[in-house]
Amino acid sequence: MGLDIGSVRIGVASSDPDGILATPLTVVRRSDEPAALKALREIIDEYEPIELLIGDPKSLDGAARAAAATALEFARRISVATATPIRLVDERFTTVEAHHALAAAGKNSRQRREIVDAQAAVIILQNALEFEHNTGAPAGRAMPDEESEQ
C-alpha cells in the first residue's frame, strides 16, 4: 500500500495481490489527525498490506525538506497505530507527475486538487513496485528509529 502524506490530505493507493499494478484508493483528510489515523487504520485493516510505502519528502538535492519531519512523525504514528512495516520511498516529482497525468485525463484544477494525493500515492507505490521487480531489492529505506537521523 502506498501513502502520500501531505499537510492537508493523505493519498492512499493499493496494488493487486501480485504487486504489479498500483491503483488509487482514497484521500484521507488530515485536519483531524486522530480521525485520519482511525480512517487509515480501518483501510489498512481491510486491505492487510504486507508493508506501507510512504513518500519521503526530499528536495532536488536529496536533502530533507521542511515537510519531512512532519511527514515522518505522522508515519511513526501510523506505524504505532497499525503495526505494519513501513519503508520510505523517494517522492520527488510525484505530485507534479500526478497533476500532469490528471490534466492529461481531462481533470480541471479543482478536480485535480481533490484527487492528486491519491494519484501521487499511486506513483509512489508503482515506482516502488517496479524498482523491486527490476532489482529484487526493496525500494526506499526502512523508517528510521526516532533516535536515528531523518
Question: Where exactly are the structural domains of the chain?
Answer: 2-142
pLDDT at position 110 is 65
pLDDT at position 34 is 94
pLDDT at position 62 is 55
pLDDT at position 56 is 84
pLDDT at position 150 is 46
pLDDT at position 108 is 66
Residue located via cell numbers 497533476: 99
Reading the block at residue 129, the C-alpha cell is: 513496485
Residue located via cell numbers 513496485: 129
User: Which stretches in the chain have pLDDT values below 50?
Assistant: 147, 149-150
CATH fit for domain 2-142, picks 3.40.50.620, 3.30.420.140, 1.10.8.640, 3.90.180.10? 3.30.420.140
